[in-house]
Amino acid sequence: MEKRILIIDDDADLASSLKELITIDGYQVTIASDGKVGLELQGRYPFDLVITDIVMPENDGLEVIIALRCNYPETKVIAMSGGGYVNSRDYLLMAKELGASMALSKPFEYNILQSEIRRLLSN
């Protein structure tokens, strides 16, 4: 069965680009424009992996990670951030402490994300 991945990011161009690249690797990919929509989708169609931005309107990525860890502890999470009001490293550190498997600073090399996706979903 195809592994399902949810990308939550308010940057539509980045989300679309990631969807194209990840789909080529054989995964089923869905996009949500913010954390609220992402969590609603997760509740209806549980995903194997959620890739979430941190700084977003509605539920931000940290809130998403907390909700996933509480309600869907088996779902793998990758966090990404380009910054915001504080240094992106601070957001990414918080994401890891809250349970993200990996935290990427934007911009990043796709092959790094690709390797982590493969590693997390190989089990």
Asked if residue 107 has a cis previous peptide bond (ω within 30° of 0), the answer is yes
pLDDT of 78: 97
CATH superfamily of 4-121: Response regulator (3.40.50.2300)
Give pTM, 2 decimals. Answer: 0.93
Distance, CA of 102 to CA of 120 (rounded, Å): 10
What is 1-59 written as a DSSP string?
Answer: ---EEEEE-S-HHHHHHHHHHHHHTT-EEEEESSHHHHHHHHHHS--SEEEEESS-SSS
- pLDDT at position 92, please? 86
Distance CA 103, CA 119 (A): 14
Residues 25 and 56: their CA atoms lie apart, in Å, by 27
Chain mean pLDDT for the chain: 91
pLDDT score of 97 more than 60: yes
Confidence of residue 83 (pLDDT cuts 50, 70, 90): low
- Higher pLDDT, residue 123 or 58: 58
pLDDT score of 107 more than 90: no
Report the pLDDT averaged over residues 49-68. 93
Q: Delimit the domains of the chain by residue range.
A: 4-121
